[in-house]
Each structure stands twice: as structure tokens, then as C-alpha cells.
């Protein structure tokens, strides 16, 4: 850290131990969707994740860290950067961290970020692009896992169709393991999705239990692809199924009626991008 950053930091870090501090009350309220919507912010936990977010250009509104982290090089650097960009830095007790995260062993570094979603008009599809579109996804763990999987498979982003679970809920953000910062999200109504796909004409592959096409036989190459996945309980409605260029099924054996949504998305996604992935590119 430079001298300049050191100077910037002096006197600008708030030391908080009380749960009744209004700033802490405000941060704790981020566990509620209403408050996240009103403030346009969300909470993410973990030093690595916070560093990754900064590297990807996200802005920290408030950085919160445990007292024991004071003086640690990476934490000091993030604190200086947060202050330099007009954010707030809080040094807090373990009790406060536990209360904010609602976990017994909380991460020592957490941060409040501004939410970012991509406007549909900013989506420019190209051959080799694969988008995942989720119809009314309900389960935060499923959504987080799908965002993480989309990141790992090199998908261009995830479209959330209709009334879905909040992608910025703590549970979803945790399940993304940091991919929330790397994968563009688009929120869209069913009507707008149908209009957009009709106009831009990607290959829309609907994943459907009654699909007539084996998902492994589809030619995914050299064209933009949208993998359209159904709701956990109801599957794809006819209105969306009818708009699909292909209705694909993953063959199953055994007694299970269907695959879990996140698993089905992963299976479809890695098949659709198989020709684009090799071990040379995918070194973790």
C-alpha cells in the first residue's frame, strides 16, 4: 500500500461494536429483498470474492472486516481503494459480523455492492455465444449453482424470465461462489423474451421432459444458442415451448421423474459448449 493510501485511510475507518448502530441495522436489513430492492445493493462474503469483484470492476459501497484483519496487506489495500472511491469502511467485532451474516463462523471480510443487471438491448449475440434462460426459477440455491455453472462453461450470461427468485439474495450469492460478479444477468418478461428471440433468432433449445430430440444430437456449432430451462415445479409453459427451435430431452433411466433444474442446466450447457471447451482453456 502506498503512503498516499495510508494517509487516505487514517480517520476514515469506523470502529463499530454495537448491533444497534444504524449503519449495522441497515446492512443487516439487506437480508430482506425489499431493502435490497430499495437500496439497489447486496451483500457478498469472503476476501477472495471481494478481491475478484473489484478486479471485475464492481464498486464496494461498504467494506466490513473483523478487527483481527487490521494491518493485513490485502485488507488494507481494499480498504484504501474503497475509501478512495467514496465507499465506507467499517472495522467491526465478531459479534457484529455474526449478526450481519447470520452465521456462527462468519467470513472475516464482507462487502456491500451495488447491484448490476444488463439491459436486454445491450445483449449482442454472436456465433459461439450460449445464453441460459430460466423460466420463473424459484430456488435460490439452484439459481446460484446455475450462475456458477454458466461461468465455468463460458456462457455469455443468464436471462431471468418472469417472476424469479432474487439473484442478489444472500443464499444465491453464496451459491454462485463469486460467479455473480462474472456472469451478466438480464431480467426480462416472458413477452419480451419471446419478442427478442423472434427478432434476433438465436437457436432456442428448450429443455423439456417431453422433448422429442436427444440433447446430444443437436448441432450447437456456429450459431448463438439460448438454452431455455423450465420452472422447478411446472416445467416450461406451452407459450415458451412453442417458441423453441428444438425441444430437447436428457435421456434418463431409474426411478427419478426428472433431474434437478441446476443439474439439467449443467448437463445441457456443457454439451452445447463441448466444441468450445478444452483442457487448455479450462485450467482452474
CA 124 to mean position of chain CA atoms: 20
Select from 180, 207, 266, 272 the one that contacts ligand SAM (CB under 6 A): 207
Cβ-based nearer residue to ligand SAM, 82 or 231? 231
The nearest distance, CB 241 to ligand SAM, in angstroms, is: 10
How far is Cα 28 from Cα 19, in angstroms, rounded to an integer?
9
* Residue 156, SS3 per DSSP: coil
Residue 137 contacts ligand SAM per CB under 6 A: no
Residue 1 contacts ligand SAM per CB under 6 A: no
Site for ligand SAM in 238-277 (CB under 6 A): 249-250, 252, 258-259, 261, 264
3-state DSSP of 202-267: CEEEEECCCCCEEHHHCCCCCCCEEEEECECCCECCHHHHCCCCEEEECCCCCCCCCCCHHHHHHH
How far is Cα 281 from Cα 279, in angstroms, rounded to an integer?
5
Select from 229, 244, 269, 272 the one that contacts ligand SAM (CB under 6 A): 229
Q: Which of 117, 123, 265, 129 is nearest to 199 (CA)?
A: 123
Of 5-13, 32-40, 218-226, 229-237, which part binds ligand SAM (CB under 6 A)? 229-237
Cβ-based nearer residue to ligand SAM, 26 or 232? 232
Instruction: Name the residues that contact ligand SAM, by CB under 6 A.
Output: 207-209, 211, 229-230, 232-233, 235-236, 249-250, 252, 258-259, 261, 264
Amino acid at each position: 500500500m502506498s503512503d498516499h493510501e495510508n494517509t487516505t485511510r487514517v480517520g476514515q475507518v469506523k470502529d463499530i461494536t454495537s448491533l444497534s448502530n444504524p449503519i449495522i441495522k441497515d446492512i443487516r436489513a439487506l437480508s430482506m429483498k425489499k431493502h435490497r430492492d430499495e437500496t439497489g445493493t447486496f451483500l457478498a462474503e469472503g476476501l477472495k470474492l471481494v478481491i475478484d469483484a473489484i478486479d471485475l470492476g464492481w464498486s464496494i459501497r461498504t467494506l466490513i472486516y473483523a478487527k483481527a484483519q487490521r494491518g493485513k496487506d490485502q485488507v488494507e489495500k481494499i480498504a484504501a481503494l474503497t475509501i478512495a472511491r467514496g465507499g465506507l469502511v467499517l472495522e467491526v467485532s465478531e459479534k457484529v459480523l455474526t449478526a450481519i451474516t447470520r452465521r456462527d463462523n462468519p467470513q472475516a471480510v464482507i462487502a456491500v455492492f451495488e447491484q448490476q443487471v444488463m439491459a436486454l438491448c445491450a445483449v449482442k449475440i454472436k456465433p459461439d455465444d450460449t445464453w441460459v434462460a430460466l423460466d420463473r426459477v424459484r430456488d435460490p440455491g439452484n439459481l446460484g449453482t446455475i450462475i456458477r455453472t454458466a461461468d465455468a462453461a463460458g456462457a455469455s450470461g443468464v436471462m431471468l424470465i418472469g417472476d424469479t427468485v432474487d439473484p442478489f439474495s444472500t443464499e444465491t450469492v453464496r451459491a454462485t461462489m463469486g460467479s455473480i460478479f462474472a456472469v451478466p444477468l438480464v431480467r426480462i418478461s416472458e413477452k419480451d423474451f419471446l419478442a427478442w428471440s423472434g427478432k434476433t433468432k438465436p437457436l432456442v433449445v428448450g429443455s423439456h421432459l417431453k422433448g422429442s430430440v436427444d440433447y446430444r444430437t443437436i448441432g450447437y456449432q456456429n450459431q448463438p444458442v439460448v438454452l431455455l430451462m423450465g420452472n422447478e415445479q411446472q416445467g416450461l409453459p406451452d407459450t415458451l415451448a412453442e417458441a423453441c427451435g428444438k425441444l430437447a430431452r436428457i435421456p434418463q433411466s431409474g426411478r427419478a421423474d426428472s433431474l434437478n433444474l441446476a443439474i439439467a442446466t449443467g448437463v445441457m450447457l456443457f454439451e452445447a459448449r463441448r466444441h468450445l471447451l478444452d483442457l487448455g482453456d479450462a485450467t482452474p
